[in-house]
Each structure stands twice: as C-alpha cells, then as structure tokens.
C-alpha cells in the first residue's frame, strides 16, 4: 500500500512540474511573438468586413438567380 502512495505522489509532483515548465515555456514564447500594431489590426479588420460583405452580396445574387432558374424550369416542364 505504501508503494502505491509513493507512486501517486510522484505522479502528482511530476504533473505539477510538467505543468509549470509548460507555462514557463508558453510565457517565453509569447515574449518572442511579433504582435501587430493597432493600425495593422484595424486594416485587416476592415478588409475582412469588406470581403465578407462582397461575398455575401455575390452569394445572394447567385441564390436569387438559381432560384428563378429552378422556378422557371419547374413551371416550364409542367410542374
């Protein structure tokens, strides 16, 4: 029974050690990251909004066109 206790405390200690090392490495990596400037974030945000809007309008037009084509074909074939 004492052997099981020692093994479990080693596992817990090992877990804490690995977790602490992992968090230390994460903090170190975050220090090396090149963060974008406020201007870069603003510019990419505007680009994403514009492209999303353009794709939305494009897909709306395609959807309406295909819907009308299918309706026309359905009525033309006697449906």
- In the chain, domain spans: 1-35, 37-79
pLDDT of residue 15: 85
pLDDT of residue 7: 56
Q: Count the neighbouring beta carbons within 10 Å of the beta carbon of residue 71.
A: 11
Residue identified by tokens 């510019």 is 43
pLDDT averages per 10-residue partition of the chain, 79 residues: 55 81 93 94 98 98 97 87
pLDDT of residue 24: 94
């Amino acid at each position: 029974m004492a052997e099981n206790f020692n093994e479990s405390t080693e596992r817990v200690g090992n877990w804490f050690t690995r977790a602490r090392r992992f968090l230390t490495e994460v903090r170190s990596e975050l220090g090396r990251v090149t963060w974008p400037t406020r201007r870069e974030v603003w510019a990419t945000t505007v680009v994403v909004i514009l492209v999303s809007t353009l794709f939305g309008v494009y897909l709306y037009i395609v959807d309406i066109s295909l819907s009308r084509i299918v309706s026309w074909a359905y009525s033309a074939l006697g449906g």
